[in-house]
Structure formats: C-alpha cells, structure tokens
Structure 1
Amino acid sequence: MTPHHPVPALPHEGLIAVIAPAGPAPLDTEKAIQWMRARGHELRIFPGVYEKDGYLAGPDEIRLNDLHAAFADPEINAIICLRGGYGTPRLLDRIDFDLIRRNPKPFVGYSDITALHLAISRYAGFVTFHGPLLNADLLGDKEPPTVTSFFSLLRGQLKAGDVLSHPAAYPLTTVEPGIAHGRLLGGNLSMIAATMGTPYQIDAEGVILFIEDVNEPLYRIDRLLTQLRLAGTLAKLRGVLVGDVAGVDVEALNRLLKQTFAPLRIPVLSGWRSGHCDPNLTLPMGALVTLDAGEKKLMLEQDVVVSL
C-alpha cells in the first residue's frame, strides 16, 4: 500500500492559520492569541472566522477562499479549524486540489471537517490530522492529553515505530482481536456516509477505518454502518478503530460493532478518545499504522511530519 506523504512539521514559533470551513462560532480573539502564544505560536485568523450566515460561517465563497488562501500562504505552517457543525461538503466540488497538493501542511479538525480529510486523502495524498478544533477543544479547557497529543504529532515528537498513547483512565475494549496494517482513515461516521456515492467518498481499500459520532442514537449508528456494509465499503477494510460515540451506551455499541464486524474477521478496537469527547486525541489520517486490537495498541508505521 502506498503511504500518504508526510507534511512539514510545525516548527518552533510556527504560524497557525484559523479558518471556518463549516459552522460559525463566536471567537474570543485575544484569548485565542494569548493561548497560542503561551505555547510558542502566533495565529493568523482568516476573515470567515468572523462571519455568520445562518448555520454557516459565512457564504461559501468566503469559506472556500479562506481554505485556499491558508494553504497557499507560504508563511503559514499549519491550519486549524474553528469548529465543525455543517458546511464543509458544500465546498468539495470547488476546491483547487492542485493548489492544496502543492502546499502540504498540517491540517486539523474533526466532525464536519471529516469531508476535507477524505477529499485531501483522495486528491492530495498527504497526511491530515483528526484533532482538536480551536473553540471547543483547545480553548475549551479539555483534559491535558488533548493538547499534548496535538502538539506531539504536529511537531514530530512521535516517529515511525512509536505507539500512540491513550490515557489509562479511559479503558479500551477489544471487540475483535487481531493485528492489522493499513492506512488509518475516516472520522465522523455520518459524514463518511454522506459522501458515499460522490467523488469524495472514502477510498477504503486496505484501510483501518476510524469512526466517531455524536447525537446519533444506536439505531442510527446501525443504519450508517449498514449503509457502508451494503455499499461494499466494510469488506475492503483491514481493521476498525472506534472513537467516542457520544450519548450511546457503550455495551450496546460494542454489541452492534461485534454483529457488524465479526463476519469480516478483522480486528476491532473500541473506546479511543477521539472526537466529540474530553480528552480529544489527535489521529493522523492517511498514515500507515498497525492496529493490535488484542493488545489495545495503535502504532505509527511512518513519520507523519518531516522537519525541513
């Protein structure tokens, strides 16, 4: 399997862009700037962050222009999204993926931002990061592993062969034991399903699928997984890593996961604290990893960033 390209590491005192490709949220600009300065970085906040158009953070054109400008600007070392919500899929068929491919850099977000992780994976071929949003996570006083995980991956402190740490306070569950090697890809389950049948759907061949969700009762999770099964997506997978599925009973969820994945005879590990949860750990999308569901470990098989 061809690995996705690593991206340039976030350097010491590197500049981080803030964009809002999905929904709006009020931003305490001074708090955001001081928070990031305290950790050695400056912020460049793009115009769409201060826009609001109903449930969107400004008109499509502004959100699209911010996305393009953040990637194109050579001074910017990483990009973090303000929030999720909804709106990212509206941009997909207007994105200049040649521009993005020519300007790889760490791109971070989750929830609705999953649409961009899938699209960049398919059309630009470099690693992105399913990780904290600026408002809800970094400025939201989430547990320390949220910030530690974010910076350790973006700064290159974790290398090929390293095991991604998971807080012992949140035990993981082996749904199906086994070891799998593949590209880690996925994100929000509802968004993965919403892009099926489009040119931006997940390329699942040889993938270790990561899924998480929020505000979806168990029967809807069942429906979404069944959609992926009927589409032939699940049959292509090598393994599954399940993140937080907020609001769903854990035992009931694990029963559903066993029903869904046991016939495929692939390893499934559940309970990874990534997504709409606290802490919210960062995961490298598109990176080659090894999932050992029995030992409850996830190990990097490639460097996800490179120092220039």
Structure 2
Amino acid sequence: MTNRLTAPVSFKAHSAVPALPAGGVVALIAPAGPAELDLNLATQWMHARGYQLRVYPGVWQREGYLAGSDAERLRDLHEAFADDSIDAIFCLRGGYGSPRLLDGIDFELLRRHPKPFVGYSDITALHLAITRYAGFVTFHGPMVNADLLGNKQPPTETSLLRMLGGQQPPVLEHPAAWPLTTIAPGCASGRLLGGNLSMICAVMGTAFELDSEDIILFIEDVNEPLYRVDRLLTHLRLAGKLDRLRGVLVGDVAGVDVAALERLLTQELGGLGIPVLAGWRSGHCDPNLTLPMGAQVRLDADQQLLVLEQDVVVSA
C-alpha cells in the first residue's frame, strides 16, 4: 500500500463539515469487519428518516475477519468521500482492520471533500488519522448494524441526527438515567480527541498516533478486563500522552465493574490536576451518544457538562 503522507500535519483547529441535509444521501461502507446486512431494513430505516442510502460494494465482501481486501475497503472509503452526491458516510461495523488502511489514505482527497464520517470502536484508527491529516471534524457515533438497526435506545439516534443535521444545542445532553461521576473536579477547554482506548494504544509510535497536546481526551472500550485497562492507561502515561492534556472524558468501558473502574481512574488520572468526568454513554453501550472528534469543547466536571465551543457542521 502506498504511503500518501507528504508531510506530518497536526491540525490545531478542526473545521466543521457540511451538515447532512433533509433528503441527503448516506453512504454505507465497511472499512473494518464484515457483517450481514438486511438491505431492506437499512433502506427503510433511512427512508423513514428522510434520507437515501447508497451501499458500497465492500459491504457485501468478506475476507476472513475483514470486510473484503484492503484495496476494496480503501477504494470504497475514497469513492464515498470523492463523490459529491454523498452527504455523509456511515460505517457498517467495527471489529478489525481499519489500521491496515491508514498508510494508503489519500488525505488530500479527503480535505477537498469533507463530509460527516461516523463510526466507533476499530473505526477510531480512521478518526485519529482523518482529524490529524485532513483537519475536519469526524463523529464517534453509532454504526448501522449493531446500533441503528439494533434497536438501541432513542438517544442513540437522536444524538446522531441532531449532531449531523445541525440541530445540536451547545450543551450536549446526557440522559439522566445514567449518572455521571466526577473523578477529578475542574473545567477546561480543548479539542475533543480519542476513542477506543485499545486502538489509541495500537497506533502509538506510528504517524497516526494521538496528538494529545492540549486536548480533552475521550476514551472507551469493551471486552477488556480491568487489568488490561490498567495496562492501557499505563501505556498512555509512559508514552507521555497524559502530560499535556486539558481534561479527560471517559465513556463506557463495557464489562468492567463500575466501582473498580472508578478506583482505577482515580489512581491513574485523578492526580493530573485536570478535570476528569466518567460514565458518558458513548461507545459499546446502549444508548450510544455521538461525540464530535476534533471539535473544540469545554469539559466541566463540576457541573458534569460537555459543551460545544464551535460549530461541528455548517448548512449550505
């Protein structure tokens, strides 16, 4: 795969992307693992919400634990961005394989055709790369198979469509049914970056690693026992990625005892002198709330608020 990086660019201000308009066309791609897709159900879901669906060929491919070859998955990613009739790009699922695409991405093409790009889990690798080298906001949010077609609770859909459509108020609403926990008090502003903790660590030491200076770090994970979460946080600390953070927002860490996790977070993050807020329902959870990666936000751990300080989408 050809490395398309011409210079190491780290964007300190990420631009908004065009909003998903009423009647817009949503591309469905599979840049990571495969999944069975009920095309009729997916089409009906989109039509019921006023959107059109265009499914890219790689969605129907399977190569072991990957949705098609690297070349097929990369081609779909490029074609979905390059096609100006496409208004947003949703991912089928996460799983495995997104990092295999990173050194083949044409970031100049992406910069010429910015649009909402949505996914989480393994898709974190693409969020990190796109925000770093293309310089626009992406969206850590629900995927089609497990989330949008998986009967997840209404805030999952509402959060996504409000965010992409430009109806999201500055204060991001968090459902009261899931209380947040202040690990460390304070209030700070910075770019919101991160995603799946395992994937953040997996690309450490590469040209696509997290640029952690002056950011609000967001982390979430699944199927990782507490000792492995400990190991991953220690990896971030030893790599210097915790040294210049402005704050930390912890999403869902599925499968880990909440009280034990909060003790670990207090040990690892509580002494950094920055606000740390835990329990945000984003990631491998239900509901799964959308977060804008690369956007300037304010994290208020005292009031338990996350506030947008920039537009993340702009209407035509």
> TM-score of the superposition, structure 2-length normalised?
0.96
1:245 aligns with 2:253: yes
What pairs with 1:114-193 in structure 2 (closer than 5 Å)? Answer: 114-159=124-169, 162-193=170-201
Q: State which of 74, 77, 102 in structure 1 corresponds to 2:84.
A: 74
Distance in 1 separating the partners of 2:271 and 2:182: 16
What runs of 5+ residues in structure 2 fail to find an aligned partner? 1-10
Q: State which of 196, 213, 232 in structure 1 corresponds to 2:240.
A: 232
**Residues matched between the structures, number:** 306
Residue 27 of structure 2: aligned partner: 17
Distance in 2 separating the partners of 1:299 and 1:3: 16
Residue 36 of structure 1: aligned partner: 46
1:92 aligns with 2:117: no
SS in 1 for 2:191: strand
Residue 61 of structure 1: aligned partner: 71
SS in 1 for 2:306: strand
Deviation at 1:263, TM superposition (A): 2.2
1:295 aligns with 2:295: no
Distance in 2 separating the partners of 1:269 and 1:48: 38
Distance in 1 separating the partners of 2:46 and 2:290: 17
Deviation at 1:307, TM superposition (A): 0.4
What runs of 5+ residues in structure 1 fail to find an aligned partner? none
Distance in 2 separating the partners of 1:304 and 1:2: 15
1:270 aligns with 2:278: yes
SS in 2 for 1:190: helix
Residues 189-245 of structure 1: per-residue CA shift (max 9 Å, x gap): 000000000000001010000000000000000000000100000112110000000
RMSD over aligned CA atoms reads 0.8
Moved over 6 A (4+): none
Residues 269-303 of structure 1: per-residue CA shift (max 9 Å, x gap): 00000000000000000000000011100000000
Deviation at 1:51, TM superposition (A): 0.4
Distance in 1 separating the partners of 2:164 and 2:75: 24
SS in 2 for 1:264: coil
User: Which letter does structure 2 place at the counterpart of 1:46?
Assistant: Y
User: Which letter does structure 1 place at the counterpart of 2:36?
Assistant: P
Distance in 2 separating the partners of 1:2 and 1:194: 23
Residues 1-21 of structure 1: per-residue CA shift (max 9 Å, x gap): 942100000001000000000
CA contact (8 A) 1:158 1:303 kept: no
Identity, % of aligned pairs?
Answer: 71
SS in 1 for 2:271: helix
CA contact (8 A) 1:164 1:300 kept: yes
Residues 99-120 of structure 1: per-residue CA shift (max 9 Å, x gap): 0111000000000000000000
> TM-score of the superposition, structure 1-length normalised?
0.98
